[in-house]
Structures are given as structure tokens and as C-alpha cells.
């Protein structure tokens, strides 16, 4: 129980008045940048970074990581209220969060999201506390082939477990891969698919794509379907915040499963985005109310939020112990570590005990501070839903335009964002799923790099994907998920007259 | 209070300016943008933010400075932005030798001649690294084993500094290496620690933590003489204990990567002179020394004709390697 002792020592560092003040300031700033689209955690943290140069490293990391927690919570707010995810990892939260808020239950949706996010983060921190050294070793086993296998598994889980027709999922994935390929290719160093537009060399930013696909796309659908101005008459009830949080234990299985998926994907290189998508897909398949997913199910909010925060938290571990940043924000913090004179790597845990354990202790305290603060702000945010549609619609357009522009001060991004809006509208009208498209835009190029790096290592042999137990398991799991829709079709073909709606779930479980 | 000191400083600046009329001809009148041609957290970003911090702390200019990251397309995004801002002295671009190397090997929409060179401020060294428990003690051992043709060399980006050096090692050491590009040096270091690679040629700061942690060790440094001793990195060794590659029979005398500062094209000589002077002042501060030591770089300052000569030489060299590899784009 050495770790426990270290942790207690860490608490003596983290729980001091100046550090608690830093946490509150960090969390509040974080919520602010999280709610303002186009800013996001990585930008917020890098804006704050220069202020920390004169601080003690522990104080500096506490400020920055608190801001990160705040931004993660804040990012869910816009996903739920306006269908505009601020971070790739909160995309999955929109699927059920937004319908629930639109149904007049924004308070429930927000409180559920915050409650389960806090649970996920807590599990992540506990994992870091007790398994730090083991986890660091496990992450080293991941070479390019294993990276690819993890990404493959994430994509396959969508085809196998997503709600849409598998072939439509594949089409959406393929489009996402094409968009992810735009820009400079890591492996060959050449410029691809820029179609003569010099600026496209930087690639397509995720924020631009998502603001258009979700924000503008949803708006176009809404304008067409319900032209009449509509405001949600939501009662703002304080007690509802606590009632929603109190109801969470009923979804204990979903919470634990999602936290496990989140931790696993956070440590392995999958990251929070893949974790939240996978968790949502699996919850939809296993939940008794799976068919209602997408219409405002509580579990549809619980699963992605828990997994997202569990992954986001546990992703800090590879950063500290190996020097691999698990997310863009972690990369900024790592830059900070170097400037403060600390070197992320295996020795950090030995040389800088005060720093490491101070940080870990601050994760416990910081998350509690963050969840308390966001729960307090729920009624304020929920009140935003009362604004009538005629007012909120132009606001959403402004937010999306400003957000897209502020990514890299580029007019082209605004045009692309509007273009993505049309794509989002068409996808909705034709019942193509948006989630696989977004997933492929976010991790498509990473998957491609990993595949080609593996091919360079193996000199072109696919045998590398079956070279050891770890990679074989991942690949076989992925293939099984890919084939799942086909397997499910077989019994239905045999017993055609039987009602597939009632039989299907039973058979699916048997096969999984 | 703040206002008084600003006033005093500007008064002091005015007095100084009186003694140096040529440099005082231009002063910035609005906020300045520092463009880092790399994502947040990388070496180039760290440099831009360190310089910003030093300027703000010592109040070297009165205007505020904002750092923006334009690291898309291996930095091309930032350089293209600089090209598009021609004549605007309020954009300062921070990069590496990428500025002249990248246009040679990929079809990007800029060339270094579109920008005004200000200075090369620090040199990052390159070392040959192997996994801690590998049997090779010297670069000679390594080359002997690499003759099998099965060695995997990792590095950051493709057709960039790391791959150029790899190809030079192949030529000088008469071996064949499989080069595997990753997104960054940090990622490459982890891959070596996990045993997925045989070696890489990271900068000191990219593998410092890994060396201390005993997952990998340097065989030799690509420098004409050993690095300055500095504090010990591991229990027994510091950077100064790493032999040069020439000592060990790998005849590559010098290979380093300068960190460069640029203005957009078509700025006036007075504007360029202002920034050269500013960077000189930055370099004279104790914070700069601290930054150089913490990132294990070599302090240097090239500007004007010296810098141009350096770029020309480097360009000739890269052209030769790229030509042999068939990388040149027309």
C-alpha cells in the first residue's frame, strides 16, 4: 500500500488554501472555454500556460488540470443544449442528450451527464492511483500494429453495434477516411487531396466538421420540420438536479461497463473519443431499452459521458509515465512540464514524487470541485432552453461561424463549416449515421498511419497483425464485430415468419 | 505603478534609441502575433512561448504578444500564412530548417524566399539512440549488426530532418535501414522503449526522460565535439559523456537543426532590424540561458549574411541527399 501513503502525502500538498483557490479558478475558466465553442480545452490551456511559468510546477499543473476538468464538463453543456459538441469526445453525448433537452428535460440531461462524468473520472483516478506502474508497462506493448488493431476495433464496433444499416455505416466511415486524408501524409510526407487549395495543406479541422454537421445540419432540419417558433417550457427545479443524480445508481451496470471501457481506451491509445463512441454503441446493443436510444434515453447519456471522462482522466497516465500525450490538451500540458523543467517519463514517478502525487490528489479534489460547480450552474444553463427558436437559431449560426473562424482565423474554414452543414442535413434526411463519419475524421488518419507503419515494419506482410496474443485478440475481436450484422441476418432468414423484433435481442446476446 | 514603470522603461528606451538612431526607426504600434509552425507542446511552440514570456517579463516591447499555433501540414500551414501576410511586420514566424527543406521535397505553396529571415536562435543536436538492453556499446557495433539489413529506424515525419540523417547514416555506414515515420519524436521514443524499433535519432530533449528512466541510451552525438558537460542525466552519465559519432567510426561530423525566426516577405529593413535587435536582447537574459539548459539545446545566434550562408550550405546538402533518394519535387 505504498501508493496509498504517497496519495495521502499528495493530499497534504493539494488540499491547501492557495491550491483550492487555483482549482476553483481553473474549473471556472475551464467551464467558460468549454461552453464557448471553438475555444475548447487545448486552446484554453495553452492561453493560460504562459501565466504558469513563474509558478511552482505543482501549482501550475493543478491550475491547468482543473481547467481541463472544467472544460470537459463545459463541453457537454453545448452538446446537450444546442447539439454542438465542443470536443470530439462529447459528440456521442449529443445523441440522447440533445433529444432529452429538446423534450423539455434539460435539467435532467445536464445533471445526468455531470453525475456520470464525475463517476467516470473518479474510476479513472482510482485506476491511476493503484495501477500506475503496471499501466505504464502495459502501454509500452503497443506498437504500430497494436495501435491499428485498437482503431480497427473501434471502427468495427460501429459497424457491428451501431444502430444504422451496416452498409450505411461503412459508407459514412469511408467518407470520413477520405476527409481525414486531406493534408500532409505522415508516412510519405506528400500533400494529398488539397485539390489546388493551398490552405487545405493543414487538413480539415474536427471543430469545423462537427460544427457544420451537428450545429448547422440540425438547424436546417429543424427549420424544415418545425417552422413555427418553439421554446421549451422547462421548469427549472433545483430538486430535479439532485433527483437525476440520485437516479444514477439504477444504471449501475451501464456506469461500471462504461467506466471500464473508458479506462481501457484511455490507457491503450484509443483515447476518449473512441471510448465514448464505443461505450454508446455497446450500451445501445445491451440495454433493454436499446431501441429507444437516440430519443433521449438516460443510459444514452450515462454511457458516453462516463467513458469519456474515465478515458480522459486515465489518459494523463501515459503522459506522465511515458511522455505520450493521450489528447491534445495533454500535449499542451506536456509542453508545460518541459518548460517548468520536468521531464515526463518513467523517472518522473521516482524523481518528482511531490509533483506526481500532488497532481493525482488534486484530480480527486479538482473533480469534486468541478462537479459541485457545474451542478450549481445547471439551472442557469437549462434556462437557456427557454429562449424561443427564432432567437436561438441565429445565435447558433453565429456561434458556429465564430467557432469555425477562430480555429485558425481562416475564412475557408467558415465556408467548409457551412458545406459540412449541408452534408449533415443530407445525412439526416437519408438516414445515414453521422457518428461513424465523425469518428473516421478524428482517428482515420491515425489508423492509416498505424497501418502503413506496420506494413513498413513487416515489409508488407499482414502476418504482423497476428504476431502476438495482444494484437491477435484485438484483430479477431474487430473482425467478429464486423461480421456480427451478417451473422444476425442468418437466423432471421431461416425463421422468416417469426417476429424478428422480439427475437433479435436474445440471439444477439447469445452470439456476443 | 505598472504605468509608471512602463513610462520609465519607454523613457529609457527613448534614451537608448537616441544613441542608436538606425534601430529606432521603427517601433511596433499594435499587438504582435507569434506564429508557431507546430502544434502546442512541441519544440517550436516551446521556443515561441519562451520568447514571448521573456519579452513580457523584461518589458522589451510595450505591445502585447499573442502566440498562435499553425502546425498543420508539418508546419506548412504557418509558413503559408507568413507568405500570405507579406508586408505585415506584426507577424513573427517561428520554425526550423523545415522552412527551406520542406519546399524541396513536397509540393507546398511557399518557399523560404517568401519570408524575411531574422535569426537562427538555438541549435538542436541529434544523437543515435538504442534500447537500453540492446547489446551494442558503440556506433561501430550498431553498424556491424545493422549490416543484416533488418534494422528499423524510427523518426518524426517523412523526408524531414530525421529521415535525411537516416539516409546519411546508410550511406556513410554502408548499411540499409527501414525508416518508419511517426508524428513526433516523443512518440518515436516510446516505440523504441517498447522494442518496436531498433534505433532513432532524437534530439536530447525528446529522449531525456527515457534515458533517465533507463529505457534507452545514446550511442553517439552527431556533432564535431562532445556536448557541454552540464548536470548528470543518469546516475553516472551526462550529455558530455556521450562520444561523438566520428570518434566511433560513423563519419558524420555535424548534423543539427536550427530553430529559426522569420518575418513575412516585403517588410522594410528597419522592421527586420528591430526584430533582430529584439531577439538579441532576449538571448542576453538569464531566462533564455535557463530555457536552453532545460531543453538541452545549444545556444547560437545567426543573422544576416551568416544566416544566409548557413541556409545555402544546408540547402545544398539536403538537395544532394534528396536528389539521391529521388524525393525532389519539380
Convert B265-292 into a string of H (helix), E (strand) and C (coil): CCCCHHHHHHHHHHHHHHHCCHHHHHHH
- A10 near A358, Cβ under 8 Å? yes
Residue A496's pLDDT is 57
User: How confident is the model over B118-142, as a mean pLDDT?
Assistant: 94
Residue A509's pLDDT is 34
pLDDT above 80 for A242: yes
Nearest Cα of chain A lies from the Cα of B313 at a distance, in angstroms, of: 23
Residue A113 has a CB neighbour count (10 Å cut-off) of 31
Give the CA distances from residue B139 to residues A30, B148, B156, B197, B199, in Å, rounded to whole numbers and listed in that order.
49, 15, 21, 16, 11
Residue B262's pLDDT is 97
* ipTM reported for the complex surpasses 0.95: no
From chain B, the residues in CB contact with A198 under 8 A are: 80, 108-109
In the structure, what pLDDT confidence band is assigned to residue B12 with cuts at 50, 70 and 90?
Answer: very low
What is the overall mean pLDDT for chain A? 83
- Window 311-330 of A, Cβ < 8 Å to B: 322-325, 328
What is the overall mean pLDDT for chain B? 88
Nearest Cα of chain B lies from the Cα of A340 at a distance, in angstroms, of: 9
In the structure, what pLDDT confidence band is assigned to residue A71 with cuts at 50, 70 and 90?
Answer: confident
Phi, psi of B182 (to 5 degrees): -120, 175
State the SS3 of B59-108: CCCCCCEEEEECCCHHHHHHHHHHHHCCCCCCEEEEECCHHHHHHHHCCC
Residues facing A157 on adjacent strands: none
CA distance linking residue A301 with residue B234, whole number of Å: 48
The answer to which of B89-93, B127-131, B275-279, B296-300 has the lowest mean pLDDT is B296-300
- Window 163-202 of A, Cβ < 8 Å to B: 183-191, 198-199, 201-202
- A353 near B219, Cβ under 8 Å? no
Closest chain A residue to B66, measured at CA: A47
User: How confident is the model over B264-271, as a mean pLDDT?
Assistant: 95
Task: At A142, list the grid cell.
Answer: 503497443
- Domains of chain A, by residue range, sit at 1-487
User: How confident is the model over A378-390, as a mean pLDDT?
Assistant: 79
From chain A, the residues in CB contact with B210 under 8 A are: 323, 345-346
pLDDT above 60 for B58: yes
From chain B, the residues in CB contact with A328 under 8 A are: 39-40
Residue A425's pLDDT is 94
Closest chain A residue to B101, measured at CA: A189
In the structure, what pLDDT confidence band is assigned to residue A451 with cuts at 50, 70 and 90?
Answer: very high
pLDDT tens, B209-255? 889 888 899 999 999 999 988 888 888 999 999 999 999 999 998 89
From chain B, the residues in CB contact with A443 under 8 A are: none
In the structure, what pLDDT confidence band is assigned to residue A39 with cuts at 50, 70 and 90?
Answer: low
Residue A327's pLDDT is 64
B68 vs A409: CB contact, 8 Å cut-off?
Answer: yes
Among the ranges A222-226, A418-422, B189-193, which has the highest mean pLDDT value? A418-422
pLDDT above 90 for A389: no
CA distance linking residue B285 with residue B50, whole number of Å: 11
- Window 393-422 of A, Cβ < 8 Å to B: 408-409
From chain B, the residues in CB contact with A331 under 8 A are: 39-41
User: How confident is the model over B302-309, as a mean pLDDT?
Assistant: 94
Residue A324's pLDDT is 65
Residue A383's pLDDT is 80
Nearest Cα of chain B lies from the Cα of A136 at a distance, in angstroms, of: 11
Residue B273's pLDDT is 94
Percent of chain A with pLDDT over 70: 89
CA distance linking residue A199 with residue A414, whole number of Å: 13
From chain B, the residues in CB contact with A42 under 8 A are: 40
Residue A510's pLDDT is 31
Model's pTM, two decimal places? 0.83
User: How confident is the model over A297-317, as a mean pLDDT?
Assistant: 90
Residue carrying the nine cell digits 463541453 = A75
Q: Of B291, B234, B183, which is closest to residue A144 (Cα–Cα)? A: B183
Closest chain A residue to B69, measured at CA: A408
- Provide the CA A132 distance to its chain's centre, in angstroms: 22
A183 vs B105: CB contact, 8 Å cut-off?
Answer: no
Residue A88's pLDDT is 74
Inter-chain Cβ pairs, chain A and chain B, closer than 8 A: 157
Among the ranges A213-227, A335-349, A493-507, which has the highest mean pLDDT value? A213-227
pLDDT above 60 for A506: no
B109 vs A198: CB contact, 8 Å cut-off?
Answer: yes
pLDDT above 60 for A503: no
pLDDT above 60 for A502: no
User: How confident is the model over A49-55, as a mean pLDDT?
Assistant: 75
Q: Which 3 state secondary structure label does DSSP give B154? A: strand
Nearest Cα of chain B lies from the Cα of A114 at a distance, in angstroms, of: 28
Residue B271's pLDDT is 95
From chain B, the residues in CB contact with A183 under 8 A are: 72-73
Residue A207's pLDDT is 77
Q: Is the dihedral of CA A270, A72, A182, B197 positive or negative?
A: negative
- Provide the CA A191 distance to its chain's centre, in angstroms: 29
pLDDT tens, B137-171? 999 999 999 999 889 999 988 888 999 999 999 99
A201 vs B80: CB contact, 8 Å cut-off?
Answer: yes
Amino acid at each position: 500500500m505504498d501508493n496509498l501513503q504517497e496519495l495521502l502525502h499528495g493530499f497534504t500538498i493539494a488540499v491547501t488554501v492557495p491550491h483550492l483557490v487555483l482549482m476553483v479558478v481553473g474549473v471556472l475558466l475551464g467551464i467558460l472555454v468549454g461552453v464557448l465553442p471553438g475555444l475548447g480545452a487545448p486552446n484554453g490551456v495553452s492561453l493560460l500556460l504562459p501565466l504558469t511559468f513563474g509558478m511552482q510546477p505543482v501549482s501550475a499543473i493543478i491550475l491547468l488540470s482543473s481547467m481541463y476538468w472544467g472544460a470537459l464538463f463545459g463541453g457537454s453543456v453545448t452538446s446537450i443544449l444546442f447539439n454542438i459538441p465542443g470536443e470530439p469526445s462529447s459528440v456521442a453525448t449529443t445523441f440522447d442528450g440533445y433529444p432529452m433537452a429538446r423534450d423539455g428535460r434539460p435539467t435532467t440531461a445536464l445533471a445526468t451527464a455531470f453525475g456520470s462524468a464525475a463517476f467516470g473520472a473518479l474510476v479513472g483516478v482510482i485506476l491511476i492511483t493503484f495501477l500506475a506502474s503496471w499501466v505504464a508497462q502495459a502501454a509500452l506493448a503497443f506498437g504500430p500494429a497494436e495501435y491499428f488493431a485498437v482503431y480497427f476495433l473501434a471502427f468495427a464496433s460501429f459497424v457491428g453495434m451501431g444502430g444504422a444499416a451496416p452498409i450505411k455505416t461503412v459508407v459514412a466511415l469511408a467518407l470520413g477516411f477520405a476527409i481525414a486524408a486531406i493534408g500532409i501524409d505522415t508516412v510519405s510526407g506528400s500533400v494529398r487531396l488539397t485539390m489546388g487549395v493551398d490552405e487545405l495543406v493543414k487538413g480539415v479541422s474536427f471543430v469545423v466538421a462537427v460544427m457544420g454537421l451537428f450545429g448547422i445540419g440540425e438547424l436546417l432540419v429543424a427549420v424544415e420540420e418545425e417552422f413555427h417558433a418553439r421554446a421549451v417550457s422547462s421548469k427549472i427545479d433545483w430538486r430535479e438536479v439532485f433527483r437525476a443524480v440520485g437516479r444514477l445508481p439504477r444504471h449501475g451496470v451501464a456506469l461500471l461497463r462504461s467506466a471500464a471501457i473508458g479506462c481501457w481506451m484511455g490507457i491503450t491509445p484509443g483515447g476518449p473519443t473512441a471510448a465514448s463512441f464505443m461505450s454508446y454503441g455497446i450500451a445501445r446493443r445491451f440495454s433493454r431499452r436499446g431501441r429507444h436510444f437516440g430519443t433521449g434515453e438516460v443510459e444514452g447519456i450515462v454511457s458516453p459521458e462516463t467513458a469519456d471522462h474515465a478515458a480522459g482522466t486515465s489518459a494523463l497516465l501515459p503522459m506522465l509515465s511515458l511522455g505520450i500525450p493521450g489528447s491534445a490538451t495533454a500535449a499542451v500540458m506536456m509542453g508545460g512540464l518541459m518548460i517548468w523543467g520536468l521531464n515526463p517519463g518513467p523517472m518522473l514517478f521516482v524523481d518528482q514524487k511531490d509533483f506526481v502525487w500532488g497532481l493525482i490528489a488534486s484530480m480527486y479534489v479538482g473533480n469534486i470541485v468541478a462537479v459541485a460547480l457545474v451542478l450549481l450552474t445547471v439551472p442557469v444553463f437549462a434556462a437557456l432552453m427557454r429562449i424561443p427558436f427564432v432567437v436561438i437559431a441565429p445565435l447558433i449560426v453565429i456561434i458556429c461561424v465564430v467557432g469555425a473562424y477562430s480555429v485558425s482565423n481562416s475564412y475557408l474554414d467558415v465556408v467548409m463549416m457551412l458545406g459540412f452543414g449541408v452534408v449533415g442535413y443530407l445525412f439526416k434526411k437519408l438516414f445515414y449515421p453521422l457518428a461513424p463519419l465523425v469518428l473516421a475524421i478524428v482517428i482515420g488518419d491515425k489508423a492509416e498511419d498505424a497501418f502503413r507503419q506496420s506494413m513498413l515494419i513487416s515489409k508488407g506482410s499482414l502476418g504482423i497483425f497476428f504476431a502476438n496474443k495482444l494484437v491477435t485478440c484485438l484483430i479477431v475481436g474487430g473482425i467478429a464485430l464486423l461480421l456480427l450484422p451478417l451473422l444476425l441476418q442468418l437466423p432471421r432468414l431461416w425463421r422468416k415468419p417469426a417476429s424478428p423484433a422480439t427475437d433479435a435481442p436474445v440471439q444477439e446476446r447469445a452470439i456476443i | 505603478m505598472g504605468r509608471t514603470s512602463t513610462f520609465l522603461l519607454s523613457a529609457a528606451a527613448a534614451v537608448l534609441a537616441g544613441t542608436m538612431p538606425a534601430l529606432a526607426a521603427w517601433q511596433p504600434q499594435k499587438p504582435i502575433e507569434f506564429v508557431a509552425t507546430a502544434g502546442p507542446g512541441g519544440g517550436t511552440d516551446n521556443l515561441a512561448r519562451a520568447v514571448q514570456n521573456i519579452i513580457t517579463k523584461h518589458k522589451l516591447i510595450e505591445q502585447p504578444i499573442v502566440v498562435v499555433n499553425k502546425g498543420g501540414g508539418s508546419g506548412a500551414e504557418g509558413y503559408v500564412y507568413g507568405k500570405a501576410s507579406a508586408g505585415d511586420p506584426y507577424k513573427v514566424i517561428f520554425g526550423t530548417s523545415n522552412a527551406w527543406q520542406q519546399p524541396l521535397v513536397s509540393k507546398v505553396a511557399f518557399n523560404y524566399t517568401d519570408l524575411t529571415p531574422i535569426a537562427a536562435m538555438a541549435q538542436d543536436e541529434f544523437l543515435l539512440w538504442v534500447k537500453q538492453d540492446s547489446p551494442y556499446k558503440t556506433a561501430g557495433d550498431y553498424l556491424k549488426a545493422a549490416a543484416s539489413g533488418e534494422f528499423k529506424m524510427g523518426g518524426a515525419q517523412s523526408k524531414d530532418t530525421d529521415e535525411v540523417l537516416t539516409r546519411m547514416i546508410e550511406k556513410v555506414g554502408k548499411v540499409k535501414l527501414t525508416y518508419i515515420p511517426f508524428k513526433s519524436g516523443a512518440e518515436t521514443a516510446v516505440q523504441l522503449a517498447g522494442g518496436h524499433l531498433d534505433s532513432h535519432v532524437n534530439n536530447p530533449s525528446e529522449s531525456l526522460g527515457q534515458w533517465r528512466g533507463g529505457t534507452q541510451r545514446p550511442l553517439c552525438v552527431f556533432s564535431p565535439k562532445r556536448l557541454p558537460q552540464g548536470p548528470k542525466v543518469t546516475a553516472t552519465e551526462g550529455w558530455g559523456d556521450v562520444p561523438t559519432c566520428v570518434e566511433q567510426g560513423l563519419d558524420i561530423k555535424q548534423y543539427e537543426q536550427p530553430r529559426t525566426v522569420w518575418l513575412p516577405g516585403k517588410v522594410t529593413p528597419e522592421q527586420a532590424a528591430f526584430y533582430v535587435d529584439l531577439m538579441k536582447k532576449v538571448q542576453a537574459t538569464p531566462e533564455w540561458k535557463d530555457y536552453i539548459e532545460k531543453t538541452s539545446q545549444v545556444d547560437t545566434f545567426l543573422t544576416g549574411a551568416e544566416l544566409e550562408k548557413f541556409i545555402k550550405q544546408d540547402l545544398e546538402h539536403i538537395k544532394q541527399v534528396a536528389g539521391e533518394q529521388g524525393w525532389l519535387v519539380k
